[in-house]
Amino acid sequence: MTAVKPGDRVAVDNNPRCGVCDFCRMGLSSQCEIIKEKTLGIFQNGGYAEYCRAPESVCFKLPDVLDNMVATQVETLGTVLNGMNTVQMQPWDAVLILGFGPIGYLFTGMAKNIAAQVAVSEIDPFRRGVARQLGVPVYDPDQTDLVQMAKERTRGNGFDIVIDAVGTQLENALKYVAPGGKVLAFGMDSSVKATITPYEITRRAVRILGTYIGQNTMLPAIKILQEKKIDMGPFFTETIPLEQGGSAFAKLGLDLPTLSHVPKQAMKITLKP
C-alpha cells in the first residue's frame, strides 16, 4: 500500500472497478462489469461485517477536520454528485425533489447551493419535518396538487429539473417538469414499471436521464463535507451502541420480525462500536 497506512481513517467506495474494460476507459466506470460481482456489502463483506477487505484503490483518506459521523456519508454523497454531474443543474433552475430520504436530503442540500429555488415532495411526516429544518418548501403529495403547485412556483411552466429520489415516480415527474426540462431517474426499485407517452417526451423536448452509483466523485464528496457545504445536522437523528443496532431498523421504518413497514422515527442512525 502507498496511499494509506494502518491507523488512517478512510472512506470506502464499495464498488471496485477493473480500470481496463471499455466502460472504465471511456469514463463510464459505473458500468464496469466487475461491479456485478465485487460490490462490498452485497457480493463481499461490507460495513455490517466484523471484517471487510477493500482494495487500496477504493480507500480514500479522510482529513482530520471531517468527523466520523459525517464521514459515513462520503460514498452516499458521491452517488448524488454523479447525479448532479449528469443533470447539470444551473443557478437559474427551479428544482423539485421527489422523496426526502437520505438521498433526497443530499440532493436538496446540493441543490440549495446552486439552484434558484428548490422544493420537496415527501409522503412521510417525519421526513417532511426534517426537510423543513433545511428551510425548503415541502409538500405532502397526498394533500397537495403538485401539478398546480409546480405551475404556481414556476410562472406556469413547471420545474426545470425533477429528481426522482425514490425510484417509483417517473410518471409523476413527467407531469411536473417544464418543456425542455430534465427528469433524473435516480432512486432504484427493480419491481416498478412506468407507462409514459413518447409523444409527450418529443413534443415537450423533455430529457430523461439515468445515473448509477458514484463515478470519480469520492474526493469531491469529501471536499464538500469537509467545507460544510451541506447542513448535515438534521441528517443524523441519533447515535446508538453497535450492540443495539437491531433496534435501529424499526426507527427507520422497518419492523424486522415481520418485515413490515412502521412509522419512521429517524432519518439516519449511526452505530458506535
178 belongs to a structural domain = yes
Residues 86 and 203 reside in one and the same domain: yes
Report how far residue 225's alpha carbon sits from residue 205's, in angstroms, rounded to the nearest whole number: 35
Residues 133 and 245 reside in one and the same domain: no
| CATH code where residue 91 lies | 3.40.50.720
Residues 253 and 177 reside in one and the same domain: no
227 belongs to a structural domain = no
Residues 91 and 120 reside in one and the same domain: yes
Residues 101 and 51 reside in one and the same domain: no
85 belongs to a structural domain = yes
2 belongs to a structural domain = no
Helices 74-87 + 218-226 axis angle, to 10 = 110
Band (2; pLDDT cuts 50, 70, 90): confident
Band (1; pLDDT cuts 50, 70, 90): confident
Task: Report the amino acid identity of residue 175.
Answer: K
C-alpha triplet 30, 131, 243: angle, nearest 5°: 70
Residues 34 and 82 reside in one and the same domain: no
Number of domains in the chain: 3
pLDDT of residue 48: 85
CA 166, 170, 85, 180 dihedral sign is negative
Query: pTM for this structure?
Result: 0.96
Q: Domain boundary residue among 191, 210, 229? A: 210
State the chain's mean pLDDT as an integer: 96
Residues 30 and 102 reside in one and the same domain: no
Residues 21 and 97 reside in one and the same domain: no
Residues 57 and 169 reside in one and the same domain: no
- pLDDT over threshold 80, residue 265: yes
pLDDT of residue 115: 99
Each residue's pLDDT tens digit, 114-166: 999 999 999 999 999 999 999 999 999 999 999 999 999 999 999 999 999 99
Each residue's pLDDT tens digit, 165-206: 999 999 999 999 999 999 999 998 889 999 999 999 999 999
224 belongs to a structural domain = no
Each residue's pLDDT tens digit, 23-72: 999 999 999 999 989 999 999 999 889 899 999 999 999 999 999 999 99
Each residue's pLDDT tens digit, 72-92: 999 999 999 999 999 999 999
Domain membership of residue 204 as a residue range = 78-210
4 belongs to a structural domain = no
pLDDT of residue 3: 84
Question: For every residue of the chain, which 3-state class applies, written as one string?
Answer: CCCCCCCCCEEECCCCCCCCCHHHHCCCHHHCCCHHHHCECCCECCCCCCCCCCCHHHEEECCCCCCHHHHCCHHHHHHHHHHHHHHCCCCCCEEEEECCCHHHHHHHHHHHHHCCEEEEECCCHHHHHHHHHCCCCEECCCCCCHHHHHHHHCCCCCEEEEEECCCCCHHHHHHHEEEEEEEEECCCCCCCCCCCCHHHHHHCCCEEEECCCCCCCHHHHHHHHHCCCCCCCCCCCEEEEHHHHHHHHHHCCEECCCCEECCCCCCCEEEEC
Each residue's pLDDT tens digit, 219-248: 999 999 999 999 999 999 999 999 999 899
Residues 18 and 122 reside in one and the same domain: no
Report how far residue 269's alpha carbon sits from residue 241's, in angstroms, rounded to the nearest whole number: 10
247 belongs to a structural domain = yes
Residues 146 and 258 reside in one and the same domain: no
Residues 115 and 85 reside in one and the same domain: yes
